[in-house]
Amino acid sequence: METPQRLAAVYNMLDRSELNSRLILIPPRLASLAEIETVHSPKYIEKILNTAGEPQRYLDPDTVTSEHTCEAAFLAAGGIFEAVKYVLKDELDNAFALIRPPGHHAEQDRQMGFCIFNNIALAAEYARRQFGLTRILIVDWDVHHCNGTQHIFEKSPEVLLFSTHRIPFFPGTGNYNEIGLEDGRGFTVNVPLTPQKGDAEFARIYREILVPVALEFQPELILVSAGFDTHHDDPIGGMRVSEHGYSYLTHLLCETAEKTCQGKIVFMLEGGYDLVAMRKSIHAVLKTLLDGIAEIIEEKIEHDLQNSSSVSDIIRDVIETHKPYWKCFSNV
């Protein structure tokens, strides 16, 4: 269940962290109706507006609103717009939007899985419309597949979506052969995983699939849906990623951003259901963004990669599926 304690736990950690003095707070703002309409239908937005002030409404069995959910959703979207603006205007090197409600399950015309507005899709549309970007990479490492993000951009060659997620699992989408539609074929890269995959497996997937495709795509901005429910202590995820693993993935993404878009990368919070694990993981990501160094020794990753054969088959399947669309896989 979505609870305010998630953000409260993170803020308490930051208040006591040595990182606090090095962080710059980006003031959020309310998104406008016109901005939300770049992704969501007017009828759906009206549905969310009608929940304002109600103590509780069940929009579906998973997604429940309070009297302040509507305002929080508009602030979350406006906050991510501000983060993108600061980074694209070179006022900040990178950003992490600690926002709730989460977003990647939200479809154009309905809520889903705790998500009200699709924050990362809105961020991509904001970058396209306000800054004229035509190549945006979205990376999603949440344990659940980003069905909403995929459906919103599945026909667009301007947004490359890369997602690692558990399958079979909620929401039931995200097989490797879901690659996009029409002009967007090849621009959706799904890597579905069975449980118990950890740092080495994720590192290998990112290095062998994501990095080559991203370098070929040459994004002008990288957006990251950062869910921490793949952590080994998460009660529902069933994966084995550590906070050091998130640090390493962040380092790989930052290196890729440096090679393609002058380091322009924006993270935003998605899932994560163990508060201690989420605090430690966010701290590791923030420290990596600030220092540019992963909290894991490269030699350890190289050693662990030798024991990551459990993802060999899915890496092969994904690469074979995408060979017609990406030159980087032609000789693999």
Helix 275-291 crosses helix 243-260 at what angle (to 10 degrees)? Answer: 30
Residue 191 sits at the vertex; the CA angle it makes with 61 and 230, to the nearest 5 degrees, is 55
Is 105 noted as a catalytic residue in this protein?
A: yes
The distance from CA 98 to its chain's CA centroid, rounded to whole angstroms, is: 12
Q: By 3-state DSSP, what share of the chain in percent is helix, strand and coil, each rounded to 5?
A: 45, 15, 40
**Residues near 150 by beta carbon (within 8 Å), at least 6 away in sequence:** 161, 163, 173, 174, 178, 188, 190
DSSP letter for 188, please.
E
What length is written for the chain?
332
> Of 40, 68, 104, 105, which one is the catalytic site residue?
105
Per the CB < 8 A criterion, the answer to whether 215 and 162 are in contact is no
- Exposed e or buried b per residue across 51-90, where buried means at least 16 C-beta atoms within 10 angstroms of its C-beta: beeeeeeebeebbbbbeebbebbbbbbbbbbbbbbbbbee
Q: What whole-number distance in Å separates Cα of residue 77 and Cα of residue 85?
A: 12
Residue 287 sits at the vertex; the CA angle it makes with 283 and 290, to the nearest 5 degrees, is 140
Q: What whole-number distance in Å separates Cα of residue 12 and Cα of residue 4?
A: 12
**Residues near 207 by beta carbon (within 8 Å), at least 6 away in sequence:** 252
Neighbouring C-beta atoms of residue 5, cutoff 10 Å = 10
- Exposed e or buried b per residue across 296-320, where buried means at least 16 C-beta atoms within 10 angstroms of its C-beta: beeeebeebbeebeebeebbeebbe
Q: Show which residues are catalytic.
A: 105
